Structure 1
Amino acid sequence: MSENLSTTVAALSSNSSGTMELLAACFHVDDAFKYRAYTFTYLLLFPVAFLCNIAALAVFFLQSSRRSSASCVVMMNLALSDSSFSLTLPLRLAYYFRGGVWDFPDWLCRLCVFGFYVNLYTSILFLTLLSVLRWLAVAQPLRHRTLATPTRTLLACLGVWLFVGASSGPFLSNGVTNRKGLPRCFEPSSPSSWGRVLILNYVALALGFLLPFLTLIFCYSRIIRHLTTGFGGDCSSPAGRARLRNRRRSVYLVTMVTVTFLICFLPYHVIRSLHLHAVCDRWRCAITVALQRAVVVTLCLAACNSVVNPLLYYYATRTFRDNMRDAQSSLMHSRGGSIRLGLALLMRRNTT
């Protein structure tokens, strides 16, 4: 690849009007690596993300008694965001299997680009909201009881959808482009559009990542402090043990959310910002290509949050585990009842 890159740079540098062409060459010189990485990631991601999030939604909807929980409302919205994003992965896979040729309508290309950013930032904000609710439940239970009603939580979730949808609206303008005579998707419409993308990046970085991350750190530190210094009473009593278990589950929840931020979201935002500066400021082509590869890897990590969130529901919240067991018991009971009914009808038919 380095030999091809050097040849391309030398050829374009000899041309006085080759600055924009050089930028495009740096951006597309490593397409093979990008296509392989995305194909491998999405092949693994699609079945797991789709099945796990659909199963999570089914558990939440079947257990109607738990829908009165504010945390459950947030988790349902988070699972809805992840399952919706997983539905766009087959289109992305078809594109990369075809070697970067888009065979679908232009509006589907725009929807896929838009859907990635909506999923990314709704996931961040829903996880932050979940951590704030947990902090209120642990540190200020009276305020949690009055503020965190299901109706208010649902309105907050709707606000997140509207805010992220409106903020991600500019990405709907990035549709199908023609390069080398072939229709392409997930590519900038022109090299001059990178300046606008850089501005959008910093808006998203500030409002969509840094502010939620600082909020998360605040909640995490407060919960840890409350657990270590604010717990009193007899821990040997059933009530004391129950309170201690609840607070430890809160720590597990915020810890898992923090790890999700550090693995899925932080690397992508840092590398994306560096890569955009490399493109806009016309850094050396070799550095730009290296950052391009890093963006590909960190974007795959960011997409993996749709698989991590169902683990969050299961391992950090006892109610979800209880709901899943109840749903499984109900399913087995209904299946057993259907089998017994079928056997009874068959025996009756044989005796007549």
Structure 2
Amino acid sequence: MSAHLVNTPIGSGGGNNSSRDVESLLACFHDDDAFKYRAYTYTYLLLFPVSFVCNIGALVVFFLQSSRRSSASCVVMMNLALSDGSFALTLPLRLAYYFRGGVWDFPDWLCRLCVYGFYVNLYTSILFLTLLSMLRWLAVARPLQHRTLATPTRSLLVCLGVWLFVAVASAPFLTNGVTNRSGFRRCFEPSSPSSWGRVLILNYVAFALGFLLPFLTIIVCYSRIVRRLTARSDLQLHGSSPSSAARRCSRRRSVHLVTMVTATFLLCFLPYHVIRSLHLHAVCGGWNCEVTVALQRAVVVTLCLAASNSVVNPLLYYYSTRTFRDKLRDAQSSLLINRGGSIRSGLALVRRRNTWTPGGS
């Protein structure tokens, strides 16, 4: 759960004391809304244009790579870019909400869709990165099996399975819509205090299946990749034959992928899941208000890091895929050439017009 979804603790017992505890902690949380709104506003202002342009641009480049569309890794990267680009489309609605000081002016279903979209993007990104890591391990350690097993059709079917699994597993977040607080329509806030025991259970299911299991899978894949690469002889790595050059290129791509995916998990996903779990325990356990608010601020910061995975992933495409870099450079060169041709045509037209002016004849 994000910080803006965890604002209400569960009382340990019934009666007036529990109600007073809930009300006092609600007041404590909402007194700190200004920090949350500023953090999300600045983060999403930065993320929206970068994420949208980079991921839509990545999709265009992937579609232009007619030969690469037959690659299993390219199919997975296209799905990853589609997930990040879709998430970027929800950011203007979030920005409008935070610019208004936490007032939701849109329909209830859009509020539910924004909440839902964040978690769908988060866990599809994690699973697609895990799938990329498994494909890279298969290419390095089992190249013959990689050619027969990692076909584009099978990769597409696995990606569709990931979309379906995450979409169904994230469905509980569609129940969180617009609520009324202090006379205003609010989004990204819980509908009732009594639901957070269920939220804590959902958190651990998501932590285990959506983060911990993929992270352990990536660690196993990368440890085997590194062992395989370091086991090769210096003659194989530094030879001058075309096959040696191809192996060096594959090794560089593997190292880039290992570095980028590991950094993404350590910086974007790990802090958010750990702090979110602690914060939910604080909320559900009725911890001290100051401690809980401090954890909520930490969740706000780590959620911003988690959302930033949508701008980190395009770096993965660039640094781990040589044909992506080549196609991007070709597109840039074509754009510059066309722009230069348009400028030259415009200058020539101006010169012709000046030639035919009365004063110039």
Q: State the TM-score, normalized to the length of structure 2.
A: 0.88
Aligned to 2:240: 237
How many residues are aligned here? Answer: 337
* Aligned 8 A contact 2:253 2:319 in 1: no
Q: Deviations over 1:185-204 (max 9, x none)?
A: 00011111111111110110
Aligned to 2:4: none
* Aligned 8 A contact 1:57 1:79 in 2: yes
Indicate the SS of the match to 1:178: strand
Question: How far apart in 1 are the matches of 2:162 and 2:267?
Answer: 23
Question: How far apart in 2 are the matches of 1:101 and 1:41?
Answer: 19
Aligned to 2:286: 282
Q: Deviations over 1:124-150 (max 9, x none)?
A: 001110111111111110010011101
**Aligned positions of 1:138-157 closer than 5 A:** 138-157=140-159
Question: How far apart in 2 are the matches of 1:141 and 1:212?
Answer: 22
Question: How far apart in 1 are the matches of 2:154 and 2:352?
Answer: 55
Q: CA deviation at 1:313?
A: 0.9
Question: Does 2:286 match 1:260?
Answer: no
One-letter amino acid of the counterpart of residue 71, structure 1: S
Question: Does 2:281 match 1:271?
Answer: no
Question: 1:249/1:231 Cα in 2 relative to 1: closer, same or farther (>3 Å)?
Answer: farther
* Aligned 8 A contact 1:26 1:288 in 2: no
Question: How far apart in 1 are the matches of 2:25 and 2:346?
Answer: 68
Aligned to 2:6: none
Range with bigger deviation, 132-141 or 56-65: 56-65
Indicate the SS of the match to 1:103: coil
Question: Does 2:336 match 1:309?
Answer: no
Question: 1:344/1:70 Cα in 2 relative to 1: closer, same or farther (>3 Å)?
Answer: farther
Give the percent of matched residue pairs that are identical in Structure 1 and Structure 2: 80
Question: 1:36/1:348 Cα in 2 relative to 1: closer, same or farther (>3 Å)?
Answer: closer
Q: CA deviation at 1:330?
A: 4.2
**Aligned positions of 1:1-352 closer than 5 A:** 16=17, 17-231=19-233, 233-234=235-236, 235-238=238-241, 239-332=243-336
Greater RCO (CA < 8 Å, at least 6 residues apart)? 2
Indicate the SS of the match to 1:87: helix
Question: How far apart in 1 are the matches of 2:343 and 2:154?
Answer: 43
Question: 1:21/1:148 Cα in 2 relative to 1: closer, same or farther (>3 Å)?
Answer: same
Question: How far apart in 2 are the matches of 1:119 and 1:147?
Answer: 27
Q: CA deviation at 1:325?
A: 1.7
Indicate the SS of the match to 1:323: helix
* Aligned 8 A contact 1:63 1:327 in 2: no
Question: How far apart in 1 are the matches of 2:349 and 2:310?
Answer: 45
Q: State the TM-score, normalized to the length of structure 1.
A: 0.90
Question: How far apart in 2 are the matches of 1:41 and 1:167?
Answer: 27
Q: Deviations over 1:308-327 (max 9, x none)?
A: 01111112221210121233
One-letter amino acid of the counterpart of residue 96, structure 2: A
Q: CA deviation at 1:344?
A: 10
Range with bigger deviation, 155-164 or 16-25: 16-25
Question: How far apart in 1 are the matches of 2:342 and 2:150?
Answer: 41
Aligned to 2:13: none
Question: How far apart in 1 are the matches of 2:233 and 2:146?
Answer: 18
Question: How far apart in 1 are the matches of 2:342 and 2:43?
Answer: 40
- Superposed CA RMSD in Å reads 2.2
Q: Deviations over 1:273-329 (max 9, x none)?
A: 000010111111111111000000000000000010111111222121012123334
* Aligned 8 A contact 1:220 1:251 in 2: no
Unaligned runs of at least 5 residues, structure 1: 1-14
Question: How far apart in 2 are the matches of 1:33 and 1:332?
Answer: 43
One-letter amino acid of the counterpart of residue 309, structure 2: N
Question: How far apart in 2 are the matches of 1:204 and 1:231?
Answer: 42
* Aligned 8 A contact 1:23 1:191 in 2: no
Unaligned runs of at least 5 residues, structure 2: 1-15, 357-361
